[in-house]
Chain A
Amino acid sequence: MAMYYPPPAPAFLKSILLKAGHTCKTIDFVSDFFYSFQKHPRWTEIDNWNALANYQNKEIETLIEEKVEDWAKKILEYNANWVGISIFSYESHRIGKLIVEKIKMLDPTQKILMGGTGITNVSEPYAEKLLEKGLINAYITGEGEETILEFAKNNFDFPGINNKNFINVSKKVLDNMPEADYSDYNLKLYGKENLGIYLRTSNHTLKDMTETENTMSITGSKGCVRKCSYCDVPYVWPKFIHRSGDIVANEIIEKSKKYGVRRFHFTDSLVNGSMKEFRIMCDILAKHNVDNNANIVWNGQFIFRPIKQHTPEDWELIAKSGASVLEVGIESASDEIRFQMGKKFTNDDVAYELEQCSKHKITTWPLFIIGYPTETEKHVNEYKKFFERFHPYAYDKTILNLELGGTLRIQPNTPDYTNLPKMGVEFIPMPNGPREDMLWWNPANPTLTLSERIRRRLMLGKVAKNLGYSIPSEEKDLKFLWSKWNQLKDIEKEFLDARKNKN
């Protein structure tokens, strides 16, 4: 887990509820978990416990259970009509279940509501099961901006309440959202971890990045302009909706003045989906930064585009607006596979974009998925060449970090989930419980087993590290993959044995 910026969902929902005349209190357990255990000698295991359903360790579990019981007691002190729990991803499932159990143990009458992307788009019917068992009393899928108000009016028939028939909020709602209410948070706890990242940057960016600054989140858009094969964003947001560039820029400037914060993190799937609005936003921020010596900086997810779509003038403006760290989904080092994924840029385009970033002292954090179903040794060699080609940028910190991930998960509600089985890719059934996103096999590329995908991932991680790249999640990924391999390798073997015998 990371402490880059405070979790915005509860803060937004609070402001929406307050504006409608309800009362609401938020409690930030993310920071409490982080600061309670971060210095524990077994922090990696504690952190991994969340993501790994099959990891059992009495000492770790006792620690976490005690902490979560304290949280449950704290929640119950408020005598709330409803307790809402925001589940960000599948990594929060284990702790989410634990907290509802603890609350119900202490007060079985406490009504509990769950929401978030972690219950909306996951293979496991997580919230459905908790509701069925009686551990929660309701759940909300999709975006909660409108639904929470209908829920508060006891309109449980509203789409998205206790089902997945959620509807998307409109641009009008998005443009008129009240400002997120962070008054219950200790914002000073956030952003400090950024320092750990920025301290590793070279001198030219160090000055701008190492001040003890807190970070606030900002939302400019929902959805994405691409439909990448592995990604579920278009399911949740079939249409890309963005706020006007001037509204977003002015909100940043206002928040900066109000809270004394100058670092912002975009929650968007991409900040440059609409180039028109993005240019307007950058222009206003750049002027503000230059005219007032404001030094506002921002981080966020960004898409690389084909050469010339981002002109050199664009890059100059992006830099002046305060672009600090751009998280970029490069996803594959092979043009062929990247195009299969629906990404529309080449390694030469990457070279241009990185050159511009380097020129303007903007850092990037490229994300990759290793082990796509069509990936062969040829593509693995392309990865090696890619890392060699761009490794000077690892030294000047244009590439701040790499995220190599935990190999391809075929998630529900993604194009891959629909299209790969049509190409023959098979999901390997789990003997007990729901499908596992990591467990699939492509008969057309039969040697790309789970073990081979993990082997490639770790081996390429080593290659990248030897070339000077930083991979901050490497230790966590290693433990995650070790655990998953132990959990799944025999199930895969049984499946492959049955296939061999059948043939």
Chain B
Amino acid sequence: MQEKIKIKLNCYNNGKNFPCFRILSDEKILTEEYNYTASHYEKTFQLELSEGKHTIVIEHFNKYPKHSLVKESKIIKDVAIELIELCFHEIKCSSLELYNCNFYIENWPDKKINNSVITNSLYFGYNGRFVYPFKSPSIKYILGEMKKYQVENSELDDFKISEDEFISKLDHHTELEKKYYNNS
């Protein structure tokens, strides 16, 4: 199955050190960037994938904690990458879905942090792997995920109401409203 996958990243550097990252599909490296100097990255990959489960992995590597320049406890310059957009055939994945994906911290000197998992962030400041699992054909999968993350207000699955029944409910409701709100 032909899949066209577009990835857009913002890339951050501290002026001396630049991010290194690679993009993989099912553990196969699609591209690798060492010391990427531009602030934006965008690339489209054409893949032939079998029907079923697959992954896209964005891996950030070769960073050291000293690459983050800190002033008054705040990072003022950093080496990192940030996922801006992941598209399949120009159709964007839901950002809510992306925020729910895991980033696995790897090869990080601080043992307390190493091997832990981060969600709710698309800014990859540690070394590690962001994993986006999906199914091919991708469009069906992505649209299904969009629906899953769509927030609906008070879903209604029963239309059965008679005019008199509804009017009586409204009579009751408006009476309560008058009593409650007009006493303020």
Q: Which residues of A contact B (CB under 8 A)?
A: 44-45, 48, 52-57, 101, 104-105, 108-109, 132-135, 137, 430-433, 446-447, 449, 451-452, 454-455, 458-459, 461-462, 474, 478-479, 481-483, 485-491, 496, 499-500, 503
- Which of A105, A134, A503 touches B87 (beta carbons < 8 Å)? A134
Q: Name 28 interchain pairs, CB-CB below 8 A, sorted by A.
A: A44-B159, A48-B159, A52-B156, A54-B154, A55-B157, A56-B157, A104-B91, A104-B143, A105-B137, A105-B140, A108-B4, A134-B91, A432-B151, A432-B153, A451-B170, A451-B173, A451-B177, A452-B177, A454-B170, A455-B170, A458-B163, A474-B163, A478-B161, A478-B163, A487-B156, A496-B177, A496-B181, A500-B184
- A101 and B143 contact, CB distance less than 8 A: yes
- A446 and B174 contact, CB distance less than 8 A: no
A446-B182, A489-B173 known; A108 and B159 CB under 8 Å? no
A56-B152, A478-B166 known; A45 and B174 CB under 8 Å? no
- Which of B89, B166, B174 touches A104 (beta carbons < 8 Å)? B89
- A483 and B156 contact, CB distance less than 8 A: yes
Known contacts A56-B155, A478-B161, then 12 further A-B pairs from the complex at CB < 8 Å, ordered by chain A residue: A55-B157, A104-B139, A105-B140, A108-B91, A134-B92, A447-B174, A452-B170, A455-B167, A462-B163, A487-B154, A490-B154, A496-B181
Residue of A nearest to B3 (CB): A108
A454-B170, A500-B184 known; A108 and B157 CB under 8 Å? no
- B173 and A500 contact, CB distance less than 8 A: no
Residues of B in contact (CB 8 Å), total 34
Minimum CB–CB distance for A404 against chain B, Å: 12
Residue of B nearest to A500 (CB): B184
B90 within 8 A of A: yes
B41 within 8 A of A: no
Q: Which residues of B contact A (CB under 8 A)?
A: 4, 87-92, 137, 139-140, 143, 146, 151-157, 159, 161, 163, 166-167, 170-171, 173-174, 177-178, 180-182, 184
Q: Which residues of A contact B146 (CB under 8 A)?
A: 133
Residue of A nearest to B4 (CB): A108
Q: Which residues of B contact A44 (CB under 8 A)?
A: 159
Chain B interface mostly? mixed
Minimum CB–CB distance for A446 against chain B, Å: 6
Q: Which residues of A contact B177 (CB under 8 A)?
A: 447, 449, 451-452, 496
Closest 3 CB pairs of A and B: A108-B89, A455-B170, A134-B91
Q: Which residues of A contact B151 (CB under 8 A)?
A: 432-433
Q: Which residues of B contact A485 (CB under 8 A)?
A: 166, 170
Cα A276 to Cα B144 in complex, Å, equals: 56
- A458 and B139 contact, CB distance less than 8 A: no
Cα A130 to Cα B12 in complex, Å, equals: 30
A133-B91, A134-B92, A432-B151 known; A55 and B181 CB under 8 Å? no
Cα A452 to Cα B89 in complex, Å, equals: 48
Cα A53 to Cα B156 in complex, Å, equals: 10
A135-B91, A478-B163, A500-B184 known; A455 and B156 CB under 8 Å? no
- B139 and A479 contact, CB distance less than 8 A: no
Cα A44 to Cα B160 in complex, Å, equals: 11
Minimum CB–CB distance for B42 against chain A, Å: 14
- A447 and B163 contact, CB distance less than 8 A: no
Minimum CB–CB distance for A318 against chain B, Å: 36
Q: Which residues of B contact A489 (CB under 8 A)?
A: 173
